[in-house]
Amino acid sequence: MGNNYELYKVFYWAAKTGSLSQAAKALYLTQPSVSHAIKQLEESFGVTLFYRNAKGVELTQEGAVLYSYIEQSQILIARAEEKMAALKNLESGELRIGGSDSLFKHYVLPYLEQFHEQHPGVKLHLNHGTTPEIISFLKEGRIDLGVVRMPIVDPQLQVTESFQLQDCFVAGARYAHLKDAVLPLDKLLQYPIILFSRNSRARMTITELFQSYGYSIKPEIEVGSVDLLIEFAKRGLGISYVTREFVSKELEEGSLFEVRIDVPLPPSHVGILTMSNMPLSSAASGFIELIR
């Protein structure tokens, strides 16, 4: 027996105020429709819920039992409404983001700081991973959005292009003699090359680029983080392939310089991934607005 929620609302206000006219006023209804709603409830349960008295209405024993439950539900509904308003206004909730360490550190962090200052009530959860891992996290519902390098073609994902990065080769003082040179690819390959070990988008891009010119780029050293790519190049262990924006400080202070080659390196784009068919939380929408 499923009664309409509206009937319970009428019952709640009649019991709370002890008056059908007050209930009608609170709910913007006519008094006859309030009486009718209560009659419907009484008929569906087969019990009398109210006694009529001089002042208005009073709960019967059965009515009091029903009221004890309905009152709890009304309190929960009111709380739910408050909670939804808080989520909408970004006073609470959580923001779960996936990305690579380097993108978090060099790109996402300033936006996260800004977002946290504006909405200190929203909890932040960061999940680190490679692009394929980030896509899995998203599809499993473990994160609300991912920040990854493009291109991503997946019908289940919505991609918002965000900004552009430029990869380049860099070296430290040990290779200072290359500072003003422009190296052909075969000359570059005579030096020890340091690449990111994991199956990253940047690694795939440079491998494909060299292949397109008929060369195979085999790294002398493979490392698992951008910080190590930078550190190894500074210490003269070889020439690292990194994202220029991630070494801007080192290039400025001169601990690294860019090793130029005679072919153009394509820029790479970073995008924000979300699930196509899932509504975004207010926190995720707010963050995307900020970062775009």
Q: In sequence order, which ranges of 90-181 are alpha helices (DSSP H)?
A: 101-103, 109-118, 131-139
Among 41, 65, 88, the domain boundary falls at 88
Judged by phi (left if over 0) then psi (alpha if -120 to 50, else beta), residue 217 lies in beta
**What pLDDT does 198 receive?**
67
Nearest to 239 by CA among 257, 265, 262, 266: 257
Least-confidence region, from 71-85, 114-128, 209-223, 249-263: 71-85
Q: Same structural domain for residues 238 and 286?
A: no
Q: Same structural domain for residues 201 and 245?
A: yes
CB 119 within 8 A of CB 90: yes
CATH number for position 137? 3.40.190.10
User: Tens digit of pLDDT for each residue in 182-201?
Assistant: 999 999 999 999 998 867 77
Query: Residue 266's pLDDT band (boundaries 50, 70, 90)?
Result: confident
Q: Same structural domain for residues 160 and 279?
A: yes
Q: Same structural domain for residues 77 and 106?
A: no
Q: How many C-beta neighbours within 10 Å does residue 180 have?
A: 8
User: Tens digit of pLDDT for each residue in 14-57?
Assistant: 999 999 999 999 999 999 999 999 999 999 999 999 999 888 89
Q: Same structural domain for residues 71 and 211?
A: no
Q: Same structural domain for residues 39 and 106?
A: no
Q: Same structural domain for residues 42 and 101?
A: no
**What pLDDT does 79 receive?**
81
User: Tens digit of pLDDT for each residue in 144-161?
Assistant: 999 998 888 888 999 988
Chain-centroid distance of CA 255 in Å reads 35
Structural tokens at position 200: 């990253």
Q: Same structural domain for residues 280 and 157?
A: yes
Among 63, 88, 113, the domain boundary falls at 88
Q: What span, in angstroms and rounded, lies between the C-alpha atoms of 101 and 72?
A: 46
**What pLDDT does 30 receive?**
93
Q: Same structural domain for residues 159 and 285?
A: yes
- Domain that includes residue 210, residue range: 167-266
Q: Same structural domain for residues 53 and 122?
A: no
Q: Same structural domain for residues 83 and 117?
A: no
Residue 2 has pLDDT above 80, yes or no: no
Q: Same structural domain for residues 81 and 114?
A: no
Q: How many domains does the chain have?
A: 3
DSSP state of 179: T
Residue 220 has pLDDT above 90, yes or no: yes
CATH number for position 44? 1.10.10.10
Write down the residue that tokens 């207010």 correspond to.
Answer: 282
Query: Residue 140's pLDDT band (boundaries 50, 70, 90)?
Result: confident
DSSP letters, 203-256, are: HHHHHHHHHHTT-----SEEESSHHHHHHHHHTTS-EEEEEGGGGHHHHHHTSS
CB 60 within 8 A of CB 47: yes
Q: How many C-beta neighbours within 10 Å does residue 153 have?
A: 7
- Supply the pTM of this predicted model: 0.67
Q: How many C-beta neighbours within 10 Å does residue 138 have?
A: 24
DSSP letters, 5-51, are: HHHHHHHHHHHHHT-HHHHHHHTT--HHHHHHHHHHHHHHHTS--EE
**What pLDDT does 168 receive?**
94
Among 55, 88, 121, the domain boundary falls at 88
Percent of the residues in the chain that have a pLDDT greater than 70, as a whole number: 98
